[in-house]
Structure 1
Amino acid sequence: MKTRYIAFTVIGLIVAFLLYNKLWGAKAKESAAIAAKSGKGKGGKKTGPVSVNIMVVKDTAVNNNIDITGSIDANERVNLISETAGNITGIYFNEGSSVKKGQLLVKVYNLDLVASLKQTQYQVSLAKENEYRNRILLEKEAISKQEYDTSLTSLNSLQAQAELIKAQIAKTEIRAPFSGTIGLRNVSPGGYLSPSTSIATLVNIDPAKVTFSVPERYLPLIKPGSKVKFTIASSRDNFEATVYALEPAIDVTSRSITVRAKAPNPKNLLTAGAFAKINLTLDQIPKTIMVPTECVTPDLKSSKVWLLKKGIATPAYVTTDMRTDTKLQVVSGLKPGDSLVVSAIIQMRPKIHLKVNKVIK
């Protein structure tokens, strides 16, 4: 048994010596030195310079634009109805056609009113003669002033009655209140038309109105005369409108203000109710720094970018403001001529060595 224990002890000592020599011997130190020279550390990972793309910071002019949505509205739109009831004796328009202001569209039965007007006009003629005779007699003092006043009152009353009948006849003729395009009709000849019956819709879409809302912070930058560019789904054309009116109060729910602009529509490409994608130019910043969004990382107190200085990575804390689809405006923390790191941001650490792969203009 003693011999066995001695053998196990000797074997253990030999194994311990071999491990020590492997880990801490001269050969291990030599291997570590070779690995250091070849740029490799623990696990064989490279610790040499990180290859990056850089951008030389410079001042640029930027348009302050915002993308919002809106709707296309008609310049004028009315639902045509009749002020009087009666049977339709004539329809004088074609569906979907253009009509002029004052054009007769629909006529309701009015022969009874026409006959009543003729009767009243005869009475007016007789009353005029009677008033004329009494005026001559009054000048000759053949009648009293009271008798003349009675004849004059009778004439004025009949004339007013005639005007009333003319107004009633006018209500039996539905005319276009403005020039535009008339839609689909809801009535037929011979049908009974009541004041609650919709005849058709009349729309004037040239110019078209564009209605949209902008955040409260942009209110000082929006004013009548501002230009608006927009597109619609049904056309590939780009359209332009001019702001002409703003709602006087801010919406308390959305904290935005409603704006309305007019756009020329000579080809009728814009349709009332259409959805508009609006690009609104608020102002132009003549001199500012814009950097790619991906190279700005959030920090505890501000935002951070990485600069290349003397071949190493150096953090710089910046203040940002306006954002576009791909870039951020930097208002402090950078100056023209700085070498901004725009790639491999996730690998950036203070004082690591960098190798410039490409300079982006």
Structure 2
Amino acid sequence: MNKIIITILAAAAAVFAYQQFDTKQAEIKRPKPIPNVVVANAKMMQVRDEVEALGTAKASESISVTAKVSEVITALNFDDGDLVKQGQLLVQLQDTEQQAKVREAKVALQEYMREFDRISSLVLSKTVAETERDSLQSKIDAARASLDQATSNVADRKIVAPFSGRLGLRNVSLGSFVTPSEQITTLDDVTKIKLDFSVPERFIQDLQEGKQIIAETVAFPDKIFKGTVTSIDSRINPTTRAVTVRAIVPNDDYKLIPGMLMKVNLIKQSREALLLPESAIIPIQNKHYVYLVNNENKVERVAVSLGLRTRGWVEIIDGIQVGDPVIIRGILKVRPGAEVTPEEAERFHFALKGNVESAV
């Protein structure tokens, strides 16, 4: 009986060993799968060396609309937020008395002028002394001054737009009594925006008029505003150790409003550089490498020298050439010398934003 059991166990062990051997042989014969990787060709692209700052939008021209005299409003010719032209009448104040004084001054002047003409002919005939004509001339000059004063008083009661722009909220009503200290509304020329921002003093040597800036605001997250540096303050703030820079930003669509906080990137320089996505870089100790895919679809490890970095991108100074296919995804699945199936990266949109930093 024991011999039978031993025989059965031996047979089972032999079958199991044969199955294991057969499985190992199948595994040896079965080729290993070739990993898929995503590659991107190294390209020459524009890179910007920038200084990032925060700025405040200001109107190109801005005033508070007030009256020159204390008077009652007889006409309002604008509504909240109206766009107005230079010289447009906004508010008419009561001017009945002043208009009457203008007419009175005109009548007096005309009377003196007629008397002057009559006396002038008599002076020529020696009938009247020249002193009487001179006295009348003085009265004419005084009458003209009175007319100018009366006309000015009338003009002071017409509030007009000194420049074209957009009005703010109306703070008065028809029939209100206004004083010079009371704000009727505001007027801003926002076709161009002054954008003031502070730059640390260590960047002063890079500042000059004509430099380009790009700006963003949370109100319009998908829009980039471009402008030009027009002036640099003559003093450095001793507290912040920064200098104020002013740029002009076109605002033809009136999207920007005075007082907006904007993120500003001052472009110190713009140039072409060989760039790769940061995901392609393999740091090993103090060196950097990339994996290339050669003509035989095999992986080659190449040492590279890095230049400037920005968000998601890195400049390659040395090690690869334009057009070299570099693995950017799937790096952990391969080793140098391994065969791979490369897939070209989807068309990526290149946009450098923010400060450019030195590579480690």
Give TM-score, length-normalised by structure 2. 0.65
Larger radius of gyration: 1
Mark the CA change 1:208 to 1:289 in structure 2 (over 3 Å): closer, same or farther.
Answer: closer
* Cα shift at 1:238: 2.3
Partner of 2:20: none
Contact persistence 2:232–2:243 (CA under 8 A): no
> For 1:57-206, what aligned pairs fall within 5 Å after superposition?
60-66=44-50, 67-206=52-191
Identity over the aligned pairs, expressed in percent? 19
Amino acid at match of 1:102: G
Contact 1:116 1:165 in 2 (8 A): yes
79-88 or 239-248: bigger deviation: 239-248
The equivalent residue for 1:325 is 311
Name the residue aligned to 1:255.
242
Match of 2:17 in 1: none
The aligned amino acid for 1:70 is: G
State the distance in 2 between where 1:290 and 1:218 align.
31
- Distance in 2 separating the partners of 1:218 and 1:342: 38
Q: Kindly tell me: are residues 260 and 137 of structure 1, through their superposed partners in 2, closer, same or farther at Cα, counting changes over 3 Å?
A: same
**CA shift in 2, pair 1:255/1:72, >3 Å:** closer
Matching of residues 38-53 of structure 1 within 5 Å: none
* Alpha-carbon spacing, 1:86–1:218, altered in 2? closer, same or farther (3 Å): same
Give distance in 2, aligned partners of 1:230 and 1:182.
Answer: 25
Distance 2:209 2:274 in 1: 24
Paired residues, what number?
Answer: 294
Give per-residue Cα distances to partners, 1:108-142, cap 9 Å, x unaligned. 22212122222222111111112212222222233
Change over 3 Å in CA distance of 1:248–1:96 after alignment to 2: closer
Q: 1:307 to 1:294 in 2, by over 3 A?
A: closer
8 Å CA contact retained: 2:58, 2:193: yes
In the TM superposition, what is the alpha-carbon distance from 1:313 to its structure 2 partner?
9.8
Gaps in structure 2 of 5+ consecutive residues: 1-36, 292-298, 330-334, 346-360
Contact map agreement 1:63 1:282 (CA 8 A) in 2: no
- CA distance, structure 2, for counterparts of residue 135 and residue 60 of structure 1: 89
In 2, the alpha carbon distance for the partners of 1:163 and 1:356 equals: 96
Q: Does the residue aligned with 1:206 lie in a helix, a strand or coil?
A: strand
Contact 1:98–1:180, Cα closer than 8 Å, also in 2: yes
Indicate the RMSD between aligned Cα atoms, in angstroms.
4.1
* Structure 2 match to 1:283: 269
Partner of 1:292: 278
8 A contact 1:65–1:283 mirrored in 2: yes
Preserved contact between residue 280 and residue 326 of structure 2 (Cα < 8 Å): no
Measure, in 2, the Cα distance between the counterparts of 1:234 and 1:91.
33
Paired AA for residue 309 in structure 2: R
Distance in 1 of aligned mates of 2:59 and 2:147: 39
Give, in whole Å, the separation in 2 of the partners of 1:118 and 1:246. Answer: 50
Amino acid at match of 2:271: I
User: Of 258, 273, 277, which residue of structure 2 is paired with 1:272?
Assistant: 258
Unaligned runs of 5+ in 1: 1-52, 344-352
Contact 2:192–2:249 (Cα < 8 Å) also in 1: yes
Partners of 2:91 and 2:264 lie apart in 1 by 40
User: Residues of 2 paired with 1:119 and 1:95: CA distance?
Assistant: 38
The alpha-carbon distance between structure 1 residues 84 and 335, as it changes in their structure 2 partners (threshold 3 A), is same
> 2:92 is paired with a residue of what secondary structure?
strand
Higher mean C-alpha deviation, range 70-79 or range 277-286 = 277-286
Q: Deviations over 1:23-60 (max 9, x none)?
A: xxxxxxxxxxxxxxxxxxxxxxxxxxxxxx9x999784
**Among residues 191, 196, 220, which one is paired with 1:211 in the alignment?**
196
TM-score w.r.t. the length of structure 1 is: 0.65
